[in-house]
Amino acid sequence: MLPVSTEMTYSPTGCRYHKRSLEQGQSTETEYRFTIRESELRSLYLTLVEQKFDAISTHHEVIYDRGGIQVTVTARGRAYTVVDGGQTVVDGFWLAPWRRIYDHLQRLQDEALEGRSAG
C-alpha cells in the first residue's frame, strides 16, 4: 500500500489538515492548522446526527488494492468510526447518508484550503 493519505481534524479548539503523498518517489507531508466558525462546526454536527452516523453499518468483501475513507467522530468521550475502504464497504442502505456526510466534510476541507497550495 502506498504511503498516501489525507487527514482532517475538526474541533472547537482548532482544525488540522495533514496530507502524505508520494511525488517522484519521495514521500512528502503537508500540514495546515486553521479554525472554523462555531456555526460550521454545529452544521457538521447536525449533518452527522441527521444522517445517523453512529448507525451506519458496513460489511466485508474480497477487494484488492482499494483505497477509501475513514471517518472517526469523538463525542462525549466515545469514538465512532465508519470505514469505506480496503475490504470494508458501507452497506447499500447507508450509501446516501454516508455520501452526504462525506460531501459535507469535503466542502469544509475545500473551504479551509481555498487559496492554499495543498499539494
Q: How many domains does the chain have?
A: 1
Q: In this structure, what C-alpha cell is assigned to residue 113?
A: 484550503
Give the tens place of pLDDT for each residue, 3-47: 678 888 988 888 998 888 888 888 899 999 988 899 999 999 999
* Parent domain of 13: 5-113
With respect to residue 11, please indicate whether it lies within any of the assigned structural domains.
yes
> In this model, does residue 2 exceed pLDDT 80?
no
Give the tens place of pLDDT for each residue, 65-107: 888 888 999 888 889 999 999 899 999 999 999 999 999 999 9
> In this model, does residue 118 exceed pLDDT 70?
no
Nearest to 88 by CA among 57, 61, 67: 61
With respect to residue 56, please indicate whether it lies within any of the assigned structural domains.
yes
Instruction: Give the model's pLDDT for residue 22.
Output: 84
- Burial level of 42, CB count in 10 A (0-12/13-18/19+)? exposed
Instruction: Give the model's pLDDT for residue 26.
Output: 86
Pairing relationship of beta strands 15-23 and 5-9 according to DSSP bridges = antiparallel
With respect to residue 118, please indicate whether it lies within any of the assigned structural domains.
no
The residue with greater pLDDT, 1 or 28, is: 28
Could you give phi then psi for residue 22, rounded to 5 degrees? -120, 115
Displacement of CA 55 from its chain's centroid (Å): 17
With respect to residue 69, please indicate whether it lies within any of the assigned structural domains.
yes
Q: What CA–CA distance (Å, rounded) separates 51 from 104?
A: 11
